[in-house]
C-alpha cells in the first residue's frame, strides 16, 4: 500500500522511517528541491496546489496525509475526490486559523486564553482595552515556531506591532504568565478507537521548542489533557494523530493551539514509547489497529537548531539517539533532534541538562 504525504519535511521523513517495517510505501509532494524525506521515497516536486501533481498523488496512493498543516484545504478537498485524505479537512481548517481554533476550544469547554479577532487599528485598541496588557498579537494564519507574533507590554507597543503584522487578519490574546508548557498527543483510528500518550513537558526559547521531557505530570493533569484531546478527536471523527499544546498555570490547563499531525514534542516516542507517534499515525490512516502508547522509561528530547554539532561527539554519549534530518543549516532551522531514554527520571534529567548546557548554553532550564 502506498501512502501519499503532502509535505516532505522531517515529519514526513520520520513517518516513512516508521512505515517501512509495516510494509508501506510512500510518495511525497513538496516544492522544495532537497526535502528531508527525499532520501527515503520519491517526491513529486511541485507546488502544494498543483492540480497535476495532486492528481498523480491521488491516483497512486490509497491514502494521503500531511506533514505540514498549512496546505491549502481546497487543494486537499479536490484530492479527496480521488482518494481518502486523513486527518479530516475540517480539523485541518480549524488548526489553520487561530480564531476558528479558539472557537472550537470554547465550544468543547476547553479553557483557552482570552482573545479578540483584530483586523484594523481601532479593533486592536479596543481588544487591548478589553483583554488588557501584556498581550500577544498573532497572525490568524500561517504562524509557527513563534513566527507572526508580537508581545505588547505597553500601549506604545501597539503601533510597532501593527506595523509589523497589520497587513493580515490578526488575533490579540492575553500573555499567559504560565508556570510551564505541556502538550498532549492523541491518536484515533478509522474505527473510532482512541489512544493517548503521556503528557510532554516542553521548554521553548524564542518561540521554538528546545527540550521535551516525558512522561510528565500528575495523573489528574494527564486525565484532563486526555479528556481534551479525545473531545477534539471525537468532534471531528478524527483519523490520525492530533496534538494540543497547553500552558499550565496553577495546576490548570489553558489551551494554546492544536496541530492536526504528528508533533515535535512527540519525537521521543520513537525510542521512548511502545509505539511511536509516527507508526500510530500510519496505523490509524491505513486502517490498522493502534499500538500501545505507554512510555517505556523517562525520555528527554533535545532539538538541534541552526547548526548541526559533530556526529562523533554526540554519539560518544552512551545510549543517545541521533536523528539528522539532512537539512541545510540556517539560523533558527530545526536540523535534527536527540533522544535519551533512561529507567531513572533523575538520571534522565541530569543528562538532558548537561547535554543542553553543552549544545545551547544560552538556554536557561527552570
Ligand atoms: P505558538 O506559535 O502560538 O505556539 O507560540 C509559540 C510559543 O510562544 C508558545 O509555546 C509560548 O512559549 C509562547 N506564547 C505564545 N502565545 C502565548 C501567550 N498567549 N502567552 C504566553 N506565551 C505565549
- Write the DSSP string, 113-149: --EEEE-SHHHHHHHHHHH-SSEEEEESSS--TTTTE
Which atom belonging to ligand 1 lies closest to the Cα atom of 177?
Answer: 21
How many angstroms does the Cα of residue 149 sit away from the middle of ligand 1? Answer: 9
> Is residue 112 within 6 Å of ligand 1 at its C-beta?
no
How many angstroms does the Cα of residue 146 sit away from the middle of ligand 1? Answer: 7
Q: What is the pLDDT of residue 144?
A: 67
For 94, left (φ over 0), alpha (ψ -120 to 50), or beta? alpha
> Is residue 148 within 6 Å of ligand 1 at its C-beta?
no
> Is residue 141 within 6 Å of ligand 1 at its C-beta?
no
Q: What is the distance between the terminal CA atoms of the chain, rounded to a whole angstrom?
A: 46
Quickly tell me which residue has 496541530 as its cell.
259
Q: What is the pLDDT of residue 331?
A: 93
> Is residue 179 within 6 Å of ligand 1 at its C-beta?
no
Q: What is the pLDDT of residue 146?
A: 66
CA distances (Å), origin 238, targets 88, 130, 192, 260: 6, 35, 8, 9
Q: What is the pLDDT of residue 341?
A: 98
Report the alpha-carbon distance of residue 38 to residue 76 in Å, rounded: 21
Which atom belonging to ligand 1 lies closest to the Cα atom of 209?
Answer: 10
Low-confidence ranges of the chain (pLDDT < 50): none
Report the alpha-carbon distance of residue 181 to residue 193 in Å, rounded: 27
Quickly tell me which residue has 486525565 as its cell.
223
How many angstroms does the Cα of residue 4 sit away from the middle of ligand 1? Answer: 31
Report the alpha-carbon distance of residue 82 to residue 60 in Å, rounded: 10
Contacts of 242 (CB under 8 A, 6+ apart): 87, 91, 185, 186, 187, 188, 229, 232, 233, 258, 259, 260, 261
3-class DSSP assignment, residue 277: helix
Report the alpha-carbon distance of residue 50 to residue 55 in Å, rounded: 9
Which atom belonging to ligand 1 lies closest to the Cα atom of 245?
Answer: 4
> Is residue 251 within 6 Å of ligand 1 at its C-beta?
no
How many angstroms does the Cα of residue 81 sit away from the middle of ligand 1? Answer: 36
Q: Of the residues 112, 136, 140, which should be mutated to test ligand 1's pocket, given the most ligand atoms within 8 Å of the CB?
A: 136
Please tell me the number of Cα atoms within 13 Å of 176 on its side-chain side. 20
How many angstroms does the Cα of residue 278 sit away from the middle of ligand 1? Answer: 25
Q: Is the pTM of this model over 0.75?
A: yes
Q: What is the pLDDT of residue 277?
A: 99
How many angstroms does the Cα of residue 12 sit away from the middle of ligand 1? Answer: 25
How many angstroms does the Cα of residue 245 sit away from the middle of ligand 1? Answer: 9
Question: Could you tell me which of 125, 128, 94 has the C-alpha nearest to residue 114?
Answer: 128
Amino acid at each position: 500500500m502506498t501512502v501519499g504525504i503532502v509535505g516532505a519535511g522531517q515529519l514526513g521523513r520520520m513517518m516513512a522511517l516508521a512505515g517501512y517495517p509495516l510494509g508501506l510505501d510512500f510518495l511525497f509532494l513538496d516544492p522544495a528541491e532537497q526535502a528531508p524525506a527525499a532520501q527515503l521515497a520519491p517526491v513529486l516536486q511541485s507546488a502544494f496546489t498543483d492540480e497535476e501533481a495532486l492528481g498523480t498523488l491521488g491516483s497512486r496512493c490509497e491514502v494521503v496525509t500531511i506533514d505540514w498543516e498549512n496546505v491549502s484545504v481546497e487543494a486537499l478537498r479536490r484530492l479527496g475526490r480521488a482518494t481518502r485524505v486523513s486527518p479530516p479537512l475540517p480539523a485541518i481548517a480549524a488548526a489553520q486559523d487561530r480564531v476558528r481554533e479558539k472557537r472550537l476550544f470554547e465550544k468543547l469547554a476547553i479553557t483557552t486564553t482570552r482573545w479578540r479577532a483584530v483586523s484594523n487599528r481601532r479593533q486592536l485598541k479596543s481588544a487591548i482595552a478589553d483583554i488588557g496588557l501584556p498581550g500577544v498579537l498573532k497572525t490568524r494564519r500561517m504562524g509557527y515556531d513563534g513566527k507572526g507574533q508580537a508581545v505588547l507590554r505597553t500601549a506604545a507597543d501597539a503601533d510597532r506591532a501593527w506595523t509589523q503584522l497589520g497587513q493580515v487578519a490578526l488575533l490579540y490574546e492575553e500573555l499567559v504568565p504560565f508556570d510551564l508548557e505541556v502538550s498532549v498527543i492523541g491518536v484515533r483510528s478509522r474505527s473510532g478507537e482512541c489512544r493517548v500518550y503521556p503528557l510532554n513537558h516542553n521548554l521553548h526559547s524564542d518561540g521554538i521548542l528546545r527540550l521535551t521531557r516525558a512522561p510528565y505530570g500528575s495523573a489528574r493533569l494527564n486525565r484532563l489533557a486526555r479528556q481534551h484531546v479525545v473531545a477534539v478527536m471525537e468532534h471531528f471523527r478524527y483519523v490520525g494523530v492530533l496534538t494540543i499544546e497547553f500552558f499550565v498555570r496553577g495546576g490548570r490547563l489553558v489551551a494554546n493551539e492544536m496541530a492536526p499531525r504528528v508533533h515535535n514534542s512527540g519525537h521521543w516516542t520513537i525510542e521512548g514509547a511502545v509505539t511511536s507517534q509516527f507508526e500510530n499515525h500510519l496505523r490509524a490512516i491505513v486502517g490498522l489497529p493502534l499500538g500501545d502508547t505507554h512510555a517505556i522509561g523517562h525520555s528527554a528530547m533535545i532539538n538541534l537548531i541552526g547548526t548541526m554539532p559533530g556526529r562523533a561527539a554526540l554519539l560518544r554519549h552512551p545510549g543517545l539517539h541521533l536523528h539528522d534530518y539532512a537539512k541545510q543549516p540556517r539560523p533558527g532551522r530545526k536540523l535534527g533532534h536527540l533522544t535519551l531514554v533512561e529507567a531513572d527520571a533523575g538520571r534522565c534529567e541530569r543528562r538532558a541538562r548537561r547535554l543542553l548546557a553543552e549544545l545551547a548554553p544560552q538556554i536557561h532550564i527552570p
